[in-house]
Chain A
Amino acid sequence: MGKVAEFVWRRGLSRRRGPAVTAFVRRHRLAPYLLLAPALAGIAVVLLWPLAQVVVYSFQNYGLPQITGTEPTQWVGLGNFTTTFADSEFWLSLRITVLFAAVVVPLTLLAGTLVGLLLNRLGKKMSAFVSTAALLAWATPPVSASVLFYWLFSPDGGLVDWTLGKLPHWLVGSTDWAGFNWATSGALSAYTVLTILVIWQSFPFIAVSVLAGLKTVPAELYEAARVDGASARRMFWKITYPLLKPIFLVLLLLSVIWDFNVFTQTYILTGFPGNRDEFNLSLYIYDKAFAGFPPNYSLGGALALIFTLILLVVTVGYVRASVRQGALT
């Protein structure tokens, strides 16, 4: 801080308010709007306007012939939605999406919380070591991570199949693991890999957030409880959990949103567009809008709208949780 600022700082501490302040505020009444303008413009153009257009598209027949001008754009009412609801692949992709989130979200939160608790109890050096390792997994870009896991689980020379093939049958079952095709032979095996991959990439964030929350819990609380002879488990549920509950809620909602929307990893692992029985909702939308022949932006738009509405329910929960934590003050 420069000398001027220090001077200002000192004077500021005296909390004197003069007419100058009022004048300043009055002079700058438009300031917040001007300051916000670039951000709002960007958000409007890239986030809000496209969403509004998608709503319009979803009630039209907008596709390749409409872009090239060979056929006129027409309103089709709820046509795109009835087509979607009549498609068994839509329901399959929805089921895969929901089941995947239902498995991955709790597992990620559990793994992240356990590591967070562990980090809190480790010595300084050890804690730094473990959190650095976690940081590296987190830093791995999704594309790298997906390609890497594809290789680890590859039927031709992949390490996982090799290891499973070496293990005794009583442990890993009688499946012929050497050459087991995880990624494309079916949704169950593909999403098993995806589950491991997504947990590997996202538990560090949970762990770090939980750790940050734990640091805010006064140590005296634990000491008092320990004096009273409380077990570690009891302390977690009576002290840690209630204090971390708001953080857990936000982490839960964020995880649901993220895991509902896994595109990059599923795109690469399932060899898009080859295996339609392994599509989640994200891939299904992308397929309808861009990869299908001919591409149908309206059908994709209707799907995107449905997807957004599903996520909106979670988002409302997220916003309410954030507001309750005093986020707006």
Chain B
Amino acid sequence: MMQVFPFLVVAWIVLMGLYGMVTSRDLIHLIVCLIVVQSSTYVLLLGVGYVTGGVAPYFFDISPHVKAVDPVVQALTLTDVVVEAAVTALLLSFAVQAHKRFGTLDPHELAPFKG
């Protein structure tokens, strides 16, 4: 059971995030659901790289031959987390701009752009 449980949780988070995005009536809520979907990829990456009984891959005071978890996926997730915040800020500035033009943040009522 422990072999697949983290991946089931990843699938659950993705489905909940997508469901929130589909049924959202507010652009801010939609952006937060996008954040939730992105967080599922972090859990997936770290879950793939985990080694049972492994320690964190930092060898300042332990021997380098101790069994450690995979550091490559941690490096990928690390930069991803910080960059996601900046991209979310950019999306929020688009939402602010949309509010200025249309006066509403409801995705069903935002008029399609002309031209």
Do A and B associate with each other?
no
> Which residues of chain B have a CB within 8 Å of any CB of chain A?
none
